[in-house]
Amino acid sequence: MDYKAYIAEHLNVEGLTKEEVADMIALPPNTEMGDYALPCFRLAKVMRKAPQAIAEGLKHAYPVDDVIGEVSAVNGYLNFKVNRRGLASHVLSEIEAQGEKYGSSDEGKGKTVCIDYSSVNIAKPFHIGHLSTTVIGGALYRAYRFFGYNAVGINHLGDYGTQFGKLISAYRHWGNKEEIEAGGIRAINDLYVRFHREAEQNPELEDEARGYFKLIESGDKECNDLFNWFKDLTMKYVEEIYKKLDIRFDSYAGERFYTDKMEPVIEELREKGLLIESQGAQIVDLEAYHMPPCIILRSDGASLYATRDMAAAIYRKQTYDFYKCLYVVAYQQNLHFKQFFKVLELMGKEWAKDLVHVAYGMVSLEEGAMSTRKGNMVFLEDVINRCVEKAYAIIEEKNASLENKEEVANLVGTGAVIFSALYNNKIKDIVFSYDKVLSFEGETSVYVQYTCARANSVLLRAGEIASFEVPELTMEEFELVKALASFKNAVADCLDKYEPCYIARYAVDVAQKFNKFYFDCKILNETGDVRNFRLALTKATLQVLKNAFALLGIGIPERM
């Protein structure tokens, strides 16, 4: 229930709409005063009364019922206390009835949202720097679907450019088919690194690479067969990582897919008088919008990212008729997105306003920055495997007799990697720390998973939960019930701000409130309605935490 809207509907405030009243209602810092409060100071000028008098008048006019059980006026605030037993009964019944769908919505029915994320580069390793785009995009994908939208996950593959000419050059100079087949993406990456090292001493290699790339573009069979072989090896490798991270896509249309779709865009720019020549290049002048020019064609006639991205945006609108199209890409590309969004707007594409750059910060390790060309990088699969190994070692130390230790270690280790990129505000740069993300204390996925294992243990020992009347709630119980009631709000905030951290932080908050309830309130040693209500509250908490973590792509082990 939206309590703010419910309260506003039952208040008659002179000069304000119900929506404006609902927006004014806040959460008091001290829940002893009330669960919601309407500050009356802003109303003094409109109603020409002192705030204290306004609060008193509204208090007497408010009809107390089984939803709002008590209303009080204190120092110009109108405080409302929710009927706690009624709220608990309603929330627990909803969670029991809806299960995995609790917190979901059909608000997105009939609307399509395209989400461009991960966008791996063919023949390049999936490193720790790809973590954020992949898991943020994956969380948004699941959250949109949870709210009834038709989410379309797009992996805009980096499968176009001179780097493939470099790889063919390197392969022909130093490559070996058996070694590449055996070594996969790592062997391909070694060739790429060697090319740049050799090119420093022999710059003619750069020209050779450009020549090979032109052969790819012109349809040369041998060069394209090599490229497709590199691509197949890459996709086989990245699919294993996507499986671990619970990531899926509906389209793998990459840069090459749009090579024959760019010319109509260029022609339209010419027809509309937007394309001008500058130092041999074809550009769109954006000086009036305080931006550098957007280069559409280089002086040698080659296209750029902006050209292909505009062709992709137009194709997606024509194909999916999206409500929104999101690009989950690091903040270093802010200017690029501003530029090509603006060019599409200047072309008269009114839907350009529905393009959203979901920017995020960089992920690095404590060892420092990375470079693909120099070979200084950390493979994401190595980070995941190391976290899984450390999780297994902790399990061996703390609970050696645990069944399915490998499975639990996988859930814990992989979950820790995912959560590390989702817990903080997405724009914040992250320095990944193995010890921190695998801590059983504080704001980690392991803490939430352990809380779920604790709740599951209680339920297994308790057996069947009998029917009950909701008793008077303790403060710990009520705080937990309120948190469970607000799950849908956390998902809505995630989608409104494109921030999965709202769901991640919500899960930690619920886990903290459950643990306070667990330690301060007896469960199995109680009897009657109190025991059964507390068991039902435990079961509901477990379900909501599972729902929240499912949206993040993190599994919950039954035991830890």
Please report the domains of the chain, with CATH numbers, ordered by start residue: 3-82 (3.30.1360.70), 112-161+218-365 (3.40.50.620), 401-552 (1.10.730.10)
219 pLDDT above the threshold of 90: no
pLDDT at 375: 52
Instruction: Report yes or no on whether pTM surpasses 0.85.
Output: yes
Q: What is the pLDDT of residues 123-149, one digit of tens each?
A: 888 888 899 999 999 999 999 999 999
Q: Alpha helix (H) ranges present in 246-285?
A: 262-271
Q: How far, in Å, CA of 241 to CA of 238, rounded?
A: 5
Q: How far, in Å, CA of 57 to CA of 44, rounded?
A: 12
45 pLDDT above the threshold of 60: yes
289 C-beta neighbours (distance < 10 Å), count: 12
pLDDT at 162: 85
- Across the range 336-352, mean pLDDT stands at 97
312 C-beta neighbours (distance < 10 Å), count: 25
Q: How far, in Å, CA of 281 to CA of 341, rounded?
A: 20
**Exposed, middle or buried by CB within 10 Å (0-12, 13-18, 19+), for 96?**
middle
Q: What is the pLDDT of residues 254-291, one digit of tens each?
A: 998 998 899 999 999 999 999 999 999 999 999 999 99
Band (299; pLDDT cuts 50, 70, 90): confident
- Across the range 499-523, mean pLDDT stands at 97
Band (374; pLDDT cuts 50, 70, 90): low
Instruction: Read off the tokens for 489.
Output: 């709000």
416 C-beta neighbours (distance < 10 Å), count: 26
- Across the range 57-73, mean pLDDT stands at 91
Residues 510 and 484 sit within 8 Å (Cβ to Cβ):
yes
What share of the chain in percent tops pLDDT 90? 74
Residues 520 and 473 sit within 8 Å (Cβ to Cβ):
no
pLDDT at 309: 96
Nearest to 59 by CA among 43, 33, 80, 39: 80
